[in-house]
Structure 1
């Protein structure tokens, strides 16, 4: 049985610890106890936690020690600390809502194990851009640690409540008769997802479980992972294969052939299944969503803080999702068998379940095929120093001739350009090429859109070649 290889670790270009609305990210060797403590205490000073902090962690080797540092710092800031253990990020967010407090998730998400980070949640949910500014300001005046004890409570049922959320909303027969492969790798939510699928009636076969951390990016799925999904599907006769990224807030769904269903398509399907009226999604997502009959579609910059801000402004029956598939539910919705409380943070489970249920007794690929005929793909160049990515994108932003030179290498011409986030070039033949630097890793990301999968793959491949040459030579193409 094939198992996707562990991608080689990146070499730390431009990865000194960095704080933003995605949290704190950096090399493990540089995430010292003092640095972690400063950020936790600044967060406690700047944001509403209700005096309570839930702490969770992923399965990276460094996560337990960092989580201990988080708890110690939170206690020194006078917070009541609740240890939720190894738990998916959305399950931690749910637990924090239930406890009426904030949360810190120790995770580096989809980046390699030589890095880690902290995701911060205030009492109202994920931190906003305003929270980010307040925390950065508080870092300049962090108070010395106060005398404190090390008393930490435990919530051993947070994961069980997360599982129950989906079982009660979907019903015990929702996936009856389906044979589902679960690519477990090192995802922290692998056992929770298996429990949910089985409780909904599916026959689950675990695949590729690993004791070594594997950085799985659900938005730019590695070729070796795609090959493994295809081989598993063919060998085992599965109806679908599911997985998540490391902290289990981004979904991965392969159809009966193992072909990956794009995360934004999962979002479209889920929004319809839940009866949403307003959809909020970044400009990198599939533009076919505008053809699905929602009352309103709002496009934002890339990143959940922008999605959440637009969801809060819109109100009502609003949902959000990103191209990576993370789905945000902004209201109490009705599932196939019961209600679903709002959970406005990235969730991997809901889009996986809604797509599987939407397929009914037929193949997943047939349900996906009825979506608007727009194909989006994404990938990235790794080990690109952040300053190089930003410089290249800035040249594209400021110079039409630089963009034209880049597009000449794709036998394409620009019809219009959108500078909302990075550089999104709409081409004269209705294709799209979108270039932006990653906000939290030394990566240069490329998003493409076309009317069929072959064209999209060809555009992605040629675009990456052009960007690789541009980064290597300092010129676009």
Structure 2
């Protein structure tokens, strides 16, 4: 069974548990079988790399998907339990296309799939459209000789590669709270941070797809509370909070205050530009204006994309960008095949903080120039009509574009309203030079959205 709603702009996500699943093992098999034709795997690749996160449905869904691929005569390299960025690593390291079973930050009843081409390159949006059509159509004939599945543990190589990309020698000893949220960071943290001279305070590091402590979505403030409290309790230098599949990392300073992902983007961009002057940095439409300002001041070039890893990865490859960042705490690195990795971003922050001799709250001030609202979500019956209402209310007050949803920009503020790629929500982001101005704009637009 497959419902068409599981096919999103960048990946697949849908309910697999409960009385009304949106896809099941038969659907996963169909998707695996169809993917062979969409990516032309019988001719373009010797195998497909497959990983899965800790979700309850992961073993059965990934096994069914693999059977669909194997039935078409394509081999499977199964890396088992993995973070999404570990799957990107496997694709890059082995130069093979990959499929990752994860629903990222969605609740426990969900599962999903993220895909990449060989070298962790993104698949095109139109390939997801074709996959939906083929998976919902007639089942292809199986190959005369099925593929072969073999297991391969790439976690040690993944950790070694990440640690080779950041110079952590000579930094001061830090106390670090790490909240894995019962997600896949609990699998990767020991291999990466566990090898460093840190005092590591782990929270919820046992992978558990029921998420018994809090939801694996660090964009929601209530899911950061435990890490914020732990920073203060332990007198830690910072906290790192990962989402369910550990491809995103949120940062909390020594006071328990959240460091905006745009600030982290600006910090890492500045460090990468110091290493390679004149390089290109990618950011999405919702990233703070601080990022392009700082990149240009440091002599770099800026490319702005739509929100979503497919679009950012494509821009990274097209422009040979050294680094990219999104407001949602996705961070992309050329040295990581242009893919996103929360763990590598965390290592960069540790290196910058460990060399600074200052607390993180002071280190971040020079990279924070605007007051952000954070992302505010609303369920609305008609997203296009709601956005049209906002656009009409702001007529004549600023420049308008529709690169990603609706953006209205004034001289020192901007408002963006866009439909979610993964959930039935309308997302609002506001930024202004002055916090009071930001608050006024935020409340005005929220009133229009929720009218």
Q: TM-score range by the shorter chain?
A: 0.7 to 0.9
User: What is the alpha-carbon distance in structure 2 between the residues aligned to residue 84 and residue 46 of structure 1?
Assistant: 22
Which of 112, 115, 118 is residue 117 of structure 1 equivalent to?
112
> Any stretches of 5+ residues in structure 2 without a counterpart?
none
> Any stretches of 5+ residues in structure 1 without a counterpart?
1-14, 331-340, 405-412, 471-477
| Per-residue deviation, 1:199 | 2.0
Q: Which moved more, 1:103-112 or 1:387-396?
A: 387-396
Q: Is the aligned partner of 1:188 residue 2:190?
A: no
SS of equivalent residue, structure 2 residue 236? coil
Q: Is the aligned partner of 1:415 residue 2:411?
A: no
User: What is the alpha-carbon distance in structure 2 between the residues aligned to residue 227 and residue 41 of structure 1?
Assistant: 43
Distance 1:228-1:453 versus aligned 2 partners, 3 A rule: farther
| Per-residue deviation, 1:97 | 2.0
User: 1:376 maps to which residue?
Assistant: 372
| Per-residue deviation, 1:64 | 1.5
Residues 291-306 of structure 1 aligned to structure 2 (within 5 Å): 291-292=293-294, 293=297, 294-306=299-311
User: What is the alpha-carbon distance in structure 1 between the residues aligned to residue 338 and residue 366 of structure 2?
Assistant: 27
Q: Which moved more, 1:200-209 or 1:167-176?
A: 167-176
CA contact (8 A) 2:178 2:227 kept: no
Distance 1:263-1:436 versus aligned 2 partners, 3 A rule: same
RMSD of aligned residue pairs (Cα, Å): 2.6
User: What is the alpha-carbon distance in structure 2 between the residues aligned to residue 108 and residue 455 of structure 1?
Assistant: 36
Q: Is the aligned partner of 1:39 residue 2:44?
A: no
Q: Is the aligned partner of 1:307 residue 2:312?
A: yes
User: What is the alpha-carbon distance in structure 1 between the residues aligned to residue 438 and residue 363 of structure 2?
Assistant: 20
| Per-residue deviation, 1:289 | 1.7
Distance 1:176-1:196 versus aligned 2 partners, 3 A rule: farther
Q: Is the aligned partner of 1:62 residue 2:45?
A: no
Distance 1:420-1:96 versus aligned 2 partners, 3 A rule: same
CA contact (8 A) 1:425 1:433 kept: yes
User: What is the alpha-carbon distance in structure 2 between the residues aligned to residue 455 and residue 365 of structure 1?
Assistant: 23
User: 2:432 maps to which residue?
Assistant: 450
Q: Which moved more, 1:96-105 or 1:267-276?
A: 267-276
Taking structure 2 as the reference length, the TM-score comes to 0.86
Distance 1:453-1:64 versus aligned 2 partners, 3 A rule: farther
| Per-residue deviation, 1:286 | 0.9
User: 1:8 maps to which residue?
Assistant: none
SS of equivalent residue, structure 2 residue 263? helix
User: 1:25 maps to which residue?
Assistant: 13
SS of equivalent residue, structure 1 residue 414? coil
SS of equivalent residue, structure 1 residue 170? coil
Taking structure 1 as the reference length, the TM-score comes to 0.82
CA contact (8 A) 1:172 1:201 kept: no
| Per-residue deviation, 1:372 | 4.7
Distance 1:299-1:37 versus aligned 2 partners, 3 A rule: same
Cα deviation code 1:309-339 (max 9, x no counterpart): 2222223x53222111212222xxxxxxxxx
User: How many residue pairs are counted as aligned between the two chains?
Assistant: 427
Q: Is the aligned partner of 1:355 residue 2:349?
A: yes
| Per-residue deviation, 1:148 | 5.8
CA contact (8 A) 2:52 2:62 kept: yes
User: 1:51 maps to which residue?
Assistant: 46
| Per-residue deviation, 1:209 | 4.2
Residues 242-391 of structure 1 aligned to structure 2 (within 5 Å): 242-275=240-273, 277-292=279-294, 293=297, 294-315=299-320, 317-330=321-334, 341-359=335-353, 360=355, 361-381=357-377, 384=379, 388-391=382-385
Q: Which moved more, 1:243-252 or 1:320-329?
A: 320-329
User: What is the alpha-carbon distance in structure 2 between the residues aligned to residue 442 and residue 363 of structure 1?
Assistant: 39
